[in-house]
Amino acid sequence: MSSSGGEMTNAQLFQQMALLQWLSSQTDEDRRVLAAVTGVQVGRELLNRISGQHQVDAFKVLLIRDSHLHCSECVCLFFYALVLILCLCFLQRECILGISEFVRQNPQASQAVINAEVEKRVLTFAAKVKALDAAPLL
């Protein structure tokens, strides 16, 4: 996603810098850096799409922009959104910490094993988010 002026995001800029470095050097080290930067960017985007973080951020902006409204429905909607945002943040943190703990406890794990663990935890995270969507919080 780019900013409103058409500039690259920080993640896109880092990826392009890593790509430029690898294209000019063709070293294995620069290839690994490019792969890591690209992997982080792709993983972040997948997490945002699965978690609906873009919609949550847009809703936060809407709530802040329309905060001058003082009706009981708006207050109820605000607290509902706040609870939902807190739940999503907790689930996201739980997923990320679980992955980092797995990697820390399994330093010799192959990339395939790590990928399988990440996939399992992201799918679990997605299922929990979907369950949040299906069950009323209030």
What is the pTM (predicted TM-score) of this model?
A: 0.46
Residues 120 and 59 both lie in one domain = yes
Tell me which residue range forms the domain holding 35: 1-51
Residues 75 and 122 both lie in one domain = yes
pLDDT, one tens digit per residue, over 2-51 is 445 678 777 788 788 888 888 889 988 888 777 777 777 777 777 777 76
What's the length of the chain? Answer: 138
- pLDDT of 1 > 50? The answer is no
Question: How far from 63 is each of 59, 74, 82, 105, CA to CA, in Å?
Answer: 6, 9, 10, 41
d(CA 11, CA 9): 5
d(CA 104, CA 118): 13
Q: Do the Cβ atoms of 58 and 99 come closer than 8 Å?
A: no
Band of residue 66 on the pLDDT scale cut at 50, 70, 90? low
Residues 36 and 56 both lie in one domain = no
